[in-house]
Amino acid sequence: MNTVALHRKKVKMIRDGTTKALLYAFLVLFGIFMVYPLLWIIGASFKPNNEIFKTISIFPSKVVLDSYVKGWQGTGQYTFGTFMINSFKLVIPVIIFTIISSTLVAYGFARFNFPLKSFLFGLMIATLMLPDSVTLIPRYILFNNFGWVDSYLPFIVPALFASHSFFIFMMVQFLRGLPKELEESATIDGCNSFQTLIKILVPLCKPAIISMTIFQFIWTWNDFLNPLIYINSVNKYTVALGLRMSIDGTSVIHWNQIMAMTVIAMLPSIIIFFLAQKYFVEGIATTGLKG
């Protein structure tokens, strides 16, 4: 009896071991499958042009760097450097204003009572689900009347007015999770509500602010439709528009140059992702779940 039980246990352990090994094998294979396209394009950007579509290998037989040099120079009047600088000129103010405006608004929602509060909060949540496409055209006409087309103002000004409900919501959720004792003692010490926000809450909100920064960076950096609509002059093109121009413009296609610039366009997002992974996952999990 005893030996039988022992034997059974052994069999179970071996079976568990095999299941686990199989599971790991699957996870690894699947991981390779997921990341392979990205690794391939990075590899291909260093390959000589005639080698790119010959094999599915990631590694170039001979490393070529002029794909980056020539791709960066571009074919037209402007280098890819111009597009990079433009993207940063657009993205950085958008991020800064989003942080400031969303934090103020979230503070209002999370810590104060005022008339119509739940109605307004509901409205804010509802705009999360409002499809952008239905407001796109009149917003364009509005900005066109303001004379803002072909500038970055259609991106920057809405950020000043906390137009991304997602970030307000994320910040409200975060603030609700913070204990109120510190703020209460700050009030007793004579801080007004704004001082309390700046001195007590903002330092505590660092993780949420970092999440906001990376999400806003990635969304604005990768955005294509809005720059396509609002930016007309090539000297104001963002990376997305520049990249799109380079795939359409070249008649004799230098594959490796386009791939090199694709890699460059992806690089900022990749760097940010690896620097701040933790905040990514937390940001999605908190807002997604409690919704």
Question: How many CA atoms lie within 13 Å of 103's alpha carbon, on the beta-carbon side?
Answer: 23
Instruction: Between 7 and 54, name the residue whose CB sits nearer to another protein.
Output: 54
Instruction: Between 37 and 203, name the residue whose CB sits nearer to another protein.
Output: 37
Q: Does 21 engage in binding with another protein (CB under 8 A)?
A: no
Q: How far is the CB of 223 from another protein (least distance, A)?
A: 8
- Per CB under 8 A, contacts with another protein among 254-273 are 255, 258-259, 262, 265-266, 269-270, 272-273
Minimal CA–CA distance to 267: which of 68, 34, 48, 51? 68
| Count of H-run helices and E-run strands, the chain | 15, 0
Instruction: Between 11 and 281, name the residue whose CB sits nearer to another protein.
Output: 281
Instruction: Give the whole-angstrom CA distance, residue 231 versus residue 60.
Output: 37
Whose tokens are 């997602």? That residue is: 166
- Per CB under 8 A, contacts with another protein among 28-57 are 30-31, 34-35, 37-38, 40-41, 44, 53, 55-56
Size of the site for another protein (CB under 8 A): 91
Instruction: Between 53 and 235, name the residue whose CB sits nearer to another protein.
Output: 53
The site map against another protein for 170-199 (x = CB under 8 A) is ----------x--xx--x-----x------
What is the crossing angle of helices 277-289 and 255-275, to 10°? 70
Q: How far is the CB of 29 from another protein (least distance, A)?
A: 11
Instruction: Between 3 and 289, name the residue whose CB sits nearer to another protein.
Output: 289
**The one among 77, 114, 118, 190 contacting another protein by CB under 8 A:** 114
Per the CB < 8 A criterion, the answer to whether 194 and 128 are in contact is: no
Instruction: Give the whole-angstrom CA distance, residue 258 versus residue 151.
Output: 26
Minimal CA–CA distance to 213: which of 276, 124, 284, 155? 276
Alpha-carbon 288 to chain mean position: 15
Instruction: Give the whole-angstrom CA distance, residue 165 versus residue 197.
Output: 20
Per the CB < 8 A criterion, the answer to whether 216 and 158 are in contact is: no
- Per CB under 8 A, contacts with another protein among 199-258 are 218-219, 221-225, 228-229, 240-241, 243-244, 247, 255, 258
- Per CB under 8 A, contacts with another protein among 57-96 are none
Segment contacting another protein by CB under 8 A, of 16-24, 67-75, 80-88, 205-213:
16-24
